[in-house]
Amino acid sequence: MGTENRITINPDGTLNVPDKPRIPFIEGDGIGPEIWQAACQVIDAAVEKAYAAQKKIAWLEVLAGEKAFNKTGNWLPDETLADIEKHAVAIKGPMTTPVGKGIRSLNVTIRQVLDLYACVRPVKYIKSVPSPVKDPQSVNMVIFRENTEDLYAGIEYQSGSPDADKVRRFLNEQMGTNLPADAGIGIKPISATNTKRLVARAIAYALDNGFSSVTLMHKGNIMKFTEGAFAHWGYEVAAEKFKDQTITEAELRDDYQGKQPQGKVVIKDRIADMLFQQVLLRPNEFGVIATPNLNGDYLSDALAAQVGGLGMAPGANIGDQCAVFEATHGTAPKYAGLDKVNPSSLILSGAMMLDHMGWREASRLMRDALQAAIEAKTVTYDLARQIRDAKQLKCSEFGQAIIRHMG
Res 193: pLDDT? 97
Whole-angstrom distance, CA of residue 252 vs CA of residue 158: 48
Q: Count of residues for the chain? A: 407
Res 224: pLDDT? 96
- Residues 348-381 pLDDT 10s: 999 999 999 999 999 999 999 999 999 999 999 9
Q: Which of 117, 125, 152, 205 is catalytic?
A: 152
Contact yes or no for 22/89 (Cβ under 8 A): no
Active-site residue 297, yes or no?
A: yes
Of all residues in the chain, the percent with pLDDT exceeding 70 is 98
| Residue 81 neighbours by CB under 8 Å, 6+ apart | 110, 113, 114
**From its phi and psi, is residue 315 left (phi > 0), alpha (psi between -120 and 50) or beta?**
beta
Whole-angstrom distance, CA of residue 185 vs CA of residue 155: 8
Question: Vertex 179, ends 173 and 183: CA angle to 5°?
Answer: 130
Whole-angstrom distance, CA of residue 238 vs CA of residue 250: 14
- Residues 3-54 pLDDT 10s: 569 999 998 889 999 999 999 999 999 999 999 999 999 999 999 999 998 9
Q: Taking the alpha carbons of 334, 339, 345, 346 in that order, is the dihedral positive or negative?
A: positive
386 half-sphere exposure, CB direction, 13 A CA radius: 13
- Indicate whether 407 pLDDT > 90: no
Residue scoring higher pLDDT (100 or 217): 217
Contact yes or no for 118/317 (Cβ under 8 A): yes
Active-site residue 355, yes or no?
A: no
Residue 128 pLDDT level (bands cut at 50, 70, 90):
confident
Q: What single DSSP character describes residue 255?
A: H
Q: Which of 67, 196, 219, 340 is catalytic?
A: 219
Q: Which of 150, 269, 297, 355 is catalytic?
A: 297
- Picking from 124-128, 174-178, 184-188, 249-253, which range would have the lowest pLDDT averaged per residue? 124-128
- Indicate whether 1 pLDDT > 60: no
Active-site residue 86, yes or no?
A: no
Residue 102 pLDDT level (bands cut at 50, 70, 90):
low
Active-site residue 165, yes or no?
A: no
Three-class secondary structure of residue 89 per DSSP? strand
- Residues 134-163 pLDDT 10s: 888 999 999 999 999 999 888 999 999 999
Contact yes or no for 55/93 (Cβ under 8 A): no
- Indicate whether 57 pLDDT > 50: yes
Domains of the chain are 1-123+313-407 (3.40.718.10), 132-142+191-306 (3.40.718.10), 150-188 (no CATH)
Q: Which of 224, 273, 320, 391 is catalytic?
A: 273
Closest CA to 154 of 120, 111, 124, 213: 111
Closest CA to 93 of 327, 395, 305: 327
